[in-house]
């Protein structure tokens, strides 16, 4: 069963912990506890991929879910689970998420690693961290309030 992951980008420097509960333990080998799983976040808009290790991983309820924790922040240190998303390279919106069973403590390269989960993530903005800043124009910059047509349909 795939789960839609919802992540919110915060504006604070210190960051906010985000816990996710994902059911992928049944795909792991018996050596799951040796290394943290590797996460791949691929933006469906920009096509760029961010590889990261979770800040913490808990297998306490592994038959139901694996708890993973990331920090969303204005910094980006993916090797320790600190992510900076909601920018030009990693914009708000939908992401393809792939989780790999890792073979090293600090490995961020998925080459040759078995895939244990494929799913989606929706990155949203915090209320005061909107993706676009709008500016209201109170005056028209043309002298005669001209309207220009930029596209005409062909008949």
pLDDT at 62: 86
Average pLDDT over residues 33-58: 93
* Residue linked to tokens 């600190």: 82
Q: From 42, 43, 54, select the one nearest 81 (Cα to Cα).
A: 54
Rounded to two decimals, the pTM is 0.75
Mean pLDDT of the chain: 80
How far apart, in whole angstroms, are the C-alpha atoms of residue 121 and residue 52? Answer: 14
3-state secondary structure the chain: CCCEEEEEECCCCCCEEEEEEECCHHHCCCCHHHCCCEEEEEECCCCCEEEECCCEEECCCCCCCEEEEEEECCCCEHHHCEECCCCCCCCCEEEEEEEECCCCCCCCCCCCCCEEEEEEEEEEECCCCCCCCCCCCCCCCCCCCCCCCCCCCCC
Confidence of residue 37 (pLDDT cuts 50, 70, 90): very high
Q: Are 47 and 100 in contact (CB under 8 A)?
A: no
- Structure confidence at residue 155 (pLDDT): 45
pLDDT band at 13 (very low <50, low <70, confident <90, very high): very low
Indicate the class that CATH gives domain 4-125: mainly beta
Summarised one tens digit per residue, pLDDT across range 76-129 is 999 999 988 888 898 888 999 999 999 999 999 999 999 999 999 888 876 665
- Locate the domains of the chain by residue range: 4-125
**Length of the chain, please?**
155
Question: In this predicted model, which residue has the larger pLDDT, 12 or 139?
Answer: 139
Best-predicted range by mean pLDDT (23-32, 43-52, 56-65, 118-127): 43-52
- The confidence score (pLDDT) of residue 149 equals 57
């Amino acid at each position: 069963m795939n789960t839609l992951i919802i992540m919110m980008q915060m504006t604070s420097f210190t960051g906010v912990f985000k816990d996710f509960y994902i059911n992928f333990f049944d795909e792991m080998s018996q050596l799951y506890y040796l290394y943290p799983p590797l996460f791949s976040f691929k933006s469906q808009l920009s096509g760029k991929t961010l590889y990261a290790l979770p800040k913490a991983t808990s297998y306490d309820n592994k038959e139901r879910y694996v708890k993973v924790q990331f920090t969303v922040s204005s910094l980006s240190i993916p090797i320790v689970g600190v992510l900076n998303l909601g920018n030009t390279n990693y914009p708000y919106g939908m992401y393809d998420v792939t989780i790999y069973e890792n073979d090293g403590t600090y490995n961020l390269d998925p080459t040759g690693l078995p895939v244990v989960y494929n799913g989606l993530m929706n990155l949203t903005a915090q209320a005061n961290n909107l993706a676009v800043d709008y500016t209201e124009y109170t005056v028209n910059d043309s002298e005669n309030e001209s309207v220009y047509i930029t596209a005409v349909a062909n008949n």
